[in-house]
């Protein structure tokens, strides 16, 4: 009986009960946390990856989340059995199609709380702009509103969206539905495992 209790306790301790978002960009952490809070009920924390070297317990008991491409760097410094989900971003077909349909020279604004978001979005939009459209970027570093009514189109992340006032605003959801499903599945599996182990513990006490 005591051995069974010990095994159950070990399994419980190994299961994630929170989400830990790791990124070198604090603004990106804000975006990911804000979006995931709409899909899960567990605690969500954010951190810079460098903290892992000074605080080994940081990822203990967490489902670690990062952007696609960062997993290969993070995996060697994470605990051996720590679950890691690489997030795939949503497709950008809709905003790109909208820009392609703009026949007149237009003024476009790119707004985000993340420097990385702005840099990557700029790279995606650049081929469509040419000499026809003009692009201006805004890094939102406070909670004040942005008056951008002079722009023909404003593209922004899901956090900055609430601070923008413009004639036409496109809110880009960064985390794809596929990635949300992966995270939910990981957390759901934890509940299933705990249910099975609890039932086994009860059976062993009879």
Q: What is the pLDDT of residues 86-130, one digit of tens each?
A: 999 999 999 999 999 999 999 999 999 999 999 999 999 999 998
Q: Where are the domains of the chain?
A: 2-89+176-204, 93-172
Q: What are phi and psi of 196, to 5 degrees?
A: -65, -45
- pTM score above 0.85: no
Which pLDDT band, with edges at 50, 70 and 90, does 205 fall under?
A: low
Q: Give the chain's radius of gyration (CA, Å).
A: 21
Q: Phi first, then psi: what are they for 168, rounded to 5°?
A: -140, 120
Q: Is 188 exposed, middle or buried (0-12, 13-18, 19+ CB in 10 A)?
A: exposed
Residue from 10, 21, 31, 39 nearest 188 by CA: 39
CATH topology of domain 2-89+176-204: Rossmann fold (3.40.50)
3-class secondary-structure state, position 134:
strand
**DSSP label of 91:** P
Per the model's pLDDT, the better-predicted residue between 122 and 15 turns out to be 122
Residue 135 dihedral angles phi and psi, to the nearest 5°: -125, 130
């Amino acid at each position: 009986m005591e051995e069974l209790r010990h095994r159950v306790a070990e399994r419980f301790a190994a299961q994630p009960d929170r989400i830990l978002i790791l990124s070198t960009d604090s603004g990106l952490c804000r975006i990911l946390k804000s979006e995931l809070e709409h899909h899960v009920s567990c605690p969500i924390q954010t951190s810079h990856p460098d903290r892992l070297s000074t605080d080994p317990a940081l990822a203990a008991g967490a489902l670690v989340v990062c952007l696609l491409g960062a997993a290969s760097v993070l995996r060697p410094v994470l605990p051996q059995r720590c679950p890691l989900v690489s997030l795939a971003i949503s497709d950008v077909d809709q905003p790109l199609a909208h820009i392609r349909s703009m026949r007149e020279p237009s003024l476009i604004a790119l707004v985000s709380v993340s420097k990385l978001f702005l840099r990557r979005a700029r790279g995606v939009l650049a081929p469509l702009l040419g000499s026809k459209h003009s692009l201006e970027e805004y890094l939102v570093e406070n909670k004040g509103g942005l008056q951008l009514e002079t722009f023909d189109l404003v593209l922004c992340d899901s956090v900055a969206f609430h601070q923008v006032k413009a004639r036409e605003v496109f809110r880009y959801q960064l985390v794809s539905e596929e990635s949300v499903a992966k995270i939910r599945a990981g957390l759901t599996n934890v509940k299933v495992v705990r249910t099975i182990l609890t039932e086994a513990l009860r059976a062993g006490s009879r």
